[in-house]
Structure 1
């Protein structure tokens, strides 16, 4: 049994929804609709008592939960370049279909990247947050081929050099 775990721990049912900060609700809703086929659930729009809209809820095919776009320009700007969500696709052939789909929509994206286990495709949303598509099937390539230096493969901050090392 894992440390800190007991048989009396409550267990969640699953993910209720994902929340993503954006700078422009309508622009982002259109983008997620175009790229992922998301449908806005207008009946779930979030409005303040004065009627101003502050969030929209999207139903995204294949996501398994709903996606909330929350108007929060400061947070969205601060997260520019962060890879917030990784979606699974079957294999390299499926990834190539996504590439063709994105190209047909004229949506910028990375080339296929040799990631740690599978192939990776990175798609920046309108605020620069990075949606990732990752193959469930491993690429089977030699680990020396992993593209650690790719600007699309987030490997975290470089280790600090310490005196004497």
Structure 2
């Protein structure tokens, strides 16, 4: 049996402050709230760009203890996004800084970004949101 290769439909993240995260993700990724999806003990807010090619669901859970995300425990390690070139990554560095994501030697705490790493497989910019969720932007390696 052959199945159709799926494409990512949306990325869903649990956040500590829904309104602050909606604002930050909206400003950084150019996505806007399109739908609230209540669930037992909370709500998911769906954010999307104009053509729904990028959709991020931010979830609030009433039982959230407010702890920061750690990729060293079972669950999300990071989310990776593609851009077209290393020059795009350089523009993203400035864009992120304009939205409170400071440059650092390593992105190891909330609202920090690393220098661009030019790896054999890609150029990578690592950054974190206010809940310490690690996000990465990848550009094709230039050989």
TM-score if structure 1 supplies the norm length?
0.64
Structure 2: gaps of 5 or more residues: 103-112
Q: Tell me the equivalent position of 1:88.
A: 82
**Shift in alpha-carbon separation, 1:62–1:119, aligned structure 2, 3 A:** farther
The correspondence of residues 18-97 of structure 1 with structure 2, limited to 5 A, is 18-41=11-34, 44-47=35-38, 54-60=43-49, 64-72=53-61, 73=64, 77-79=68-70, 83-97=77-91
Deviations, residues 91-142 of structure 1 (Å, cap 9, x unaligned): 1111111112122333231111123411111110110011100102x133xx
TM-score if structure 2 supplies the norm length?
0.72
Which secondary structure does the structure 1 equivalent of 2:68 belong to? Answer: helix
CA distance in 2, matches of 1:118, 1:48: 38
Greater share of strand residues, 1 or 2?
A: 2
Preserved CA contact (<8 Å) 1:15 1:65: no
Higher Rg of the two aligned structures: 1
Greater share of helix residues, 1 or 2?
A: 1
Of residues 115, 121, 125, the one that matches 1:121 is: 125
Q: How much is the aligned-residue C-alpha RMSD, in angstroms?
A: 2.9
Number of equivalent positions:
128
**Shift in alpha-carbon separation, 1:54–1:94, aligned structure 2, 3 A:** same
